[in-house]
Amino acid sequence: MVKPQNMKLLLIFLAIYLFIRYFIPSVLKMIFADIFKTAEKKSNFDKSSTKKKEKTNEKYGEYIDYEDIDE
CA-to-CA dists, residue 27 to 18, 31, 45, angstroms: 14, 6, 27
- Per-residue pLDDT of 10-29, as tens digits, reads 999 999 999 999 999 898 89
DSSP 29-69: HHHHHHHHHHHHHHHHHHHHHHSPP---BTTTB----HHHH
On whether the pTM is more than 0.85, the answer is no
pLDDT of res. 70: 59
Judge whether residue 51 has pLDDT over 70: no
Q: Which residue has the higher pLDDT, 43 or 35?
A: 35
- Give yes or no for a contact between 69 and 62, defined as CB atoms under 8 angstroms apart: no
- Per-residue pLDDT of 53-62, as tens digits, reads 555 556 677 7
Residue-number span of the structural domain to which 49 is assigned = 4-70
Question: How many independent structural domains does the chain possess?
Answer: 1
How far is the C-alpha of 71 from the C-alpha of 65, rounded, in Å? Answer: 11
pLDDT of res. 41: 72
